[in-house]
Chain A
Amino acid sequence: MRTIVVGLGNPILSDDSVGIKAAGLVRELVAGSERIEVVEAYAGGLRLMEAIAGYDRAVIVDAMTRGDCPPGTVLPLRPGEGAGTRNMLCSHDSDLETSISLGRELGLALPREIRIVGIEAEDVDNFSEDLTRLVEAALPAAVAEIMLLCTSPAWT
């Protein structure tokens, strides 16, 4: 069973980078593991689908701007669930679901299961390498959620 963790977002756009930062922390925790790999991705759609091909499971970590929960809220989601997260879609090709369906029809080895860890953002309008305070404080909870998924033998 091989799991890929994808940190998704823009690394220089304040809280939009939270997925990448959380995934970076997970990378340190799973260093040396043959079962868990961590990558960064900056665009959704086809590129995200291509990034997770070849793995049994995928955990995608991304910022959310739902507006119905406080900044720093960590939510485990399934693809297509709720308001979604910020970077699953690419304006130049397609959304993740279409990309996954495409990949499956073409016979690509795509993960049987995909989970998303969304982290509610506060600032996604200003260029910065830093997270806002509440979002920064949510990193441990996000990392715990990702690790729980990575180490769990079965997802329910």
Chain B
Amino acid sequence: MSRITIDPITRLEGHGKIEIFLNEEGDVANAYFQIPELRGFEQFCVGRLAEEMPVITNRICGVCPEAHHMAASKALDALFAADPPPAAKKLRELLYCAFFVTDHTTHFYALGGPDFILGPDAPPGERNILGVIRKVGLDVGRQVIDCRARNHHVIKTVGGRSIHPVAGLPGGWSRPITATERDEIAAIAKQNIEFAQFTLRIFEEVVLKNQVYLELVTSETYTHRTYYMGMVDDRQRVNFYDGMIRVVGPDGAELVRYHPDDYAQQIAERVEPWSYLKYPYLKAVGWKGFVDGPESGVYAASPLSRLNVADGMATPLAQEQFERFFETLGSGKAGGRYRPVHYRLATHWARLVELLYASERMLELALDPEITSPDLRTRPGAVTGRGIGCVEAPRGTLTHHYEADERGILTRVNMIVGTTNNYAPMTMSIKKAAQQIITKGKIVEEGMLNRIEMAFRLYDPCLSCATHAVGKMPLSVKIRDASGAVVRTVSRN
């Protein structure tokens, strides 16, 4: 087969790169998602004072610094044996809810929504936030920008600095909020609740009432029956800031519920010779390759996963939406819990249920009488030698693991970021999407990039975090025949 190259790109650094391998019959044998590797983060950290980590790690990524700041602060609590006072935990969670609201809002309107609001086959130049507001109205765009601005303001008020918070300390938080600030935050939280409900109504109108989209969401192309991971509170409800990690199987049965400190006993990383990426999987189940089903240790950690592992949501309006989500897309209950929803595109809906939860939880915290307490710090004790901090980042479970000597100087640093959890499922989703596009050597080029992109966009992979690849998602897809020769390259800068 001769080599055909379309729109060749000379510079692959920073590109999401997808390689599709065909078998002798010309069908998809394998598909791999590759992203550039960044090196030396552990070496960069080792030898530094552990206290620097909340500020250092939030610079790994320009997109979710708040998540790293929280995980790092929690790891330091453990490293210095200093459990923060209740008000400090509440302020941290309050800031974190504001962050979730901006992040989930932005994803829906700028990335996930356009596929539905404009359609998966709309020209790429229109399939963006600008296209969305031209379709649904300028006012929606204003609401998105206002939502971001008011929640950035909350992050600055509570975190001491916009975008890159600095208030997290071992054993607590450095800055109390005043009653006036609390009132302002409560008002913002109420606006967020309204906005989240408004966004869910848009989802209802545009997606759920459209039979074509509903069929797309529930199609086999975008379905994987894997294990799911997420953090739950003491009543097994979704929590972003603290709790146990619960893993459920494809049938919804709990495989394990563990303390984040035990992550290394639960998660192993698979190394494949063709990729520098490490693919986390569940040790108890084992690695069976890039396949789903109860025998395969592949798991996903995402908004969909969080809903799938939980018994419910901790706030009333989000709980209503949670039930509606599973009643609409699920297959009933088993053992008193909803069975998991395996439709990956439903992640977009799950994200909006979480948007509503984050908004409601933000209001609860703002109205908590303790939130203005100046008692925000537990004095750090002796260095314990090891500290593990875990939160749910918007893109999945985020774990920071530090080890330090008796002076608090770092000797080891390990992180599993949200996106890393999803490397294996993303690879599987891309393969399935590719199988729909390529059969018997026949390649449907029309809309190909977007059909493949839709498969991984729903995970919203944070390449910045995972390896800090930079840029939006410049994408290159290479298709190779059974001999390994490139038969087609499709790319977009």
B41, B63, B65, B141 — most chain A CB neighbours (10 Å): B63
B128: chain A residues at CB < 8 Å are 94, 98
Binds B, one of A7-15, A27-35, A112-120, A138-146: A7-15
- Distance in Å from the Cβ of A55 to the closest Cβ of chain B? 16
> A105 and B37: CB pair below 8 A?
no
B267 lies within 8 A of chain A by Cβ: no
> A128 and B40: CB pair below 8 A?
yes
Which partner residue on chain B sits nearest A63 by CB separation?
B470
> A93 and B110: CB pair below 8 A?
yes
Q: Please give the number of chain B residues whose Cβ is less than 8 angstroms from any Cβ of chain A in the complex.
A: 48
B93 lies within 8 A of chain A by Cβ: no
Q: A46-B148, A47-B62, A106-B141 are in contact. Are A92 and B37 (CB under 8 A)?
A: no
Contact with A along B120-136 (1 / 0, CB 8 A): 00000000111001000
How many angstroms between the C-alpha atoms of A23 and B331 in the bound complex? 56
- Distance in Å from the Cβ of B186 to the closest Cβ of chain A? 24
B464: chain A residues at CB < 8 Å are 43, 91
> A98 and B129: CB pair below 8 A?
yes
> B59 and A42: CB pair below 8 A?
yes
A42: chain B residues at CB < 8 Å are 59, 61-62, 65, 163-164
B209 lies within 8 A of chain A by Cβ: no
How many angstroms between the C-alpha atoms of A92 and B145 in the bound complex? 15
Binds B, one of A70-78, A81-89, A147-155: A81-89
> A127 and B130: CB pair below 8 A?
no
B469: chain A residues at CB < 8 Å are 91
Counting residue pairs across A and B whose Cβ atoms lie within 8 Å, the total is 120
How many angstroms between the C-alpha atoms of A65 and B164 in the bound complex? 26
> B133 and A105: CB pair below 8 A?
yes
How many angstroms between the C-alpha atoms of A124 and B469 in the bound complex? 9
Q: A42-B62, A86-B14, A91-B473 are in contact. Are A102 and B163 (CB under 8 A)?
A: no
How many angstroms between the C-alpha atoms of A98 and B103 in the bound complex? 18
> A93 and B106: CB pair below 8 A?
yes
A134 lies within 8 A of chain B by Cβ: no
Residue of A41, A45, A65, A95 touching B13 (CB-CB under 8 A): A65
- Distance in Å from the Cβ of A18 to the closest Cβ of chain B? 13
> B14 and A13: CB pair below 8 A?
no
> A125 and B133: CB pair below 8 A?
no
A108 lies within 8 A of chain B by Cβ: yes
> B130 and A98: CB pair below 8 A?
yes
> A65 and B11: CB pair below 8 A?
yes
- Distance in Å from the Cβ of B343 to the closest Cβ of chain A? 22
B38 lies within 8 A of chain A by Cβ: yes
How many angstroms between the C-alpha atoms of A94 and B470 in the bound complex? 13
Q: Please give the number of chain A residues whose Cβ is less than 8 angstroms from any Cβ of chain B in the complex.
A: 38
How many angstroms between the C-alpha atoms of A103 and B41 in the bound complex? 36
A16 lies within 8 A of chain B by Cβ: yes
- Distance in Å from the Cβ of B110 to the closest Cβ of chain A? 4
A94: chain B residues at CB < 8 Å are 110, 128-130, 472
B86: chain A residues at CB < 8 Å are none
How many angstroms between the C-alpha atoms of A86 and B44 in the bound complex? 22
A103: chain B residues at CB < 8 Å are 145
Contact with A along B213-225 (1 / 0, CB 8 A): 0000000000000
- Distance in Å from the Cβ of A38 to the closest Cβ of chain B? 15
- Residues of B20-59 at the interface with A, using a CB-CB cut-off of 8 Å, are 36-41, 43-44, 56, 59
> A102 and B129: CB pair below 8 A?
yes
How many angstroms between the C-alpha atoms of A87 and B14 in the bound complex? 10
B460 lies within 8 A of chain A by Cβ: yes
How many angstroms between the C-alpha atoms of A101 and B134 in the bound complex? 11
Q: A50-B148, A91-B464, A101-B130 are in contact. Are A126 and B471 (CB under 8 A)?
A: no
B371 lies within 8 A of chain A by Cβ: no
- Distance in Å from the Cβ of A60 to the closest Cβ of chain B? 14
Q: A47-B163, A50-B148, A102-B129 are in contact. Are A93 and B11 (CB under 8 A)?
A: no
Residue of B60, B110, B463, B468 touching A46 (CB-CB under 8 A): B110
A50: chain B residues at CB < 8 Å are 145, 148-149, 152
A16: chain B residues at CB < 8 Å are 470
> A106 and B40: CB pair below 8 A?
no
> B462 and A13: CB pair below 8 A?
no
> B471 and A89: CB pair below 8 A?
yes
> A12 and B62: CB pair below 8 A?
no
> B471 and A12: CB pair below 8 A?
no
B190 lies within 8 A of chain A by Cβ: no
B142 lies within 8 A of chain A by Cβ: yes
> A43 and B129: CB pair below 8 A?
no
B468: chain A residues at CB < 8 Å are 10, 13
How many angstroms between the C-alpha atoms of A67 and B468 in the bound complex? 19
B56, B464, B470 — most chain A CB neighbours (10 Å): B470
> B59 and A10: CB pair below 8 A?
yes
How many angstroms between the C-alpha atoms of A46 and B133 in the bound complex? 14
B10: chain A residues at CB < 8 Å are 67
- Distance in Å from the Cβ of A39 to the closest Cβ of chain B? 10
> A65 and B14: CB pair below 8 A?
yes
B344 lies within 8 A of chain A by Cβ: no
- Distance in Å from the Cβ of A8 to the closest Cβ of chain B? 9
Give me the interface of A with B, judged by CB distance under 8 Å. 10-13, 16, 41-43, 45-47, 50, 65-67, 83, 86-87, 89-95, 98-99, 101-103, 105-106, 108, 124-128
- Additional A-B contact list (5), CB under 8 Å, known A92-B103, A92-B110: A47-B62, A91-B463, A92-B106, A124-B470, A125-B36
> What are 19 A-B pairs at a CB distance below 8 A?
A42-B163, A42-B164, A43-B464, A45-B472, A50-B149, A66-B11, A90-B62, A91-B461, A91-B462, A91-B469, A91-B471, A93-B129, A95-B472, A98-B128, A98-B130, A105-B141, A124-B13, A125-B39, A127-B44
Give me the interface of B with A, judged by CB distance under 8 Å. 10-11, 13-14, 36-41, 43-44, 56, 59-63, 65, 103, 106-107, 110-111, 128-130, 133, 138, 141-142, 145, 148-149, 152, 163-164, 460-464, 468-473
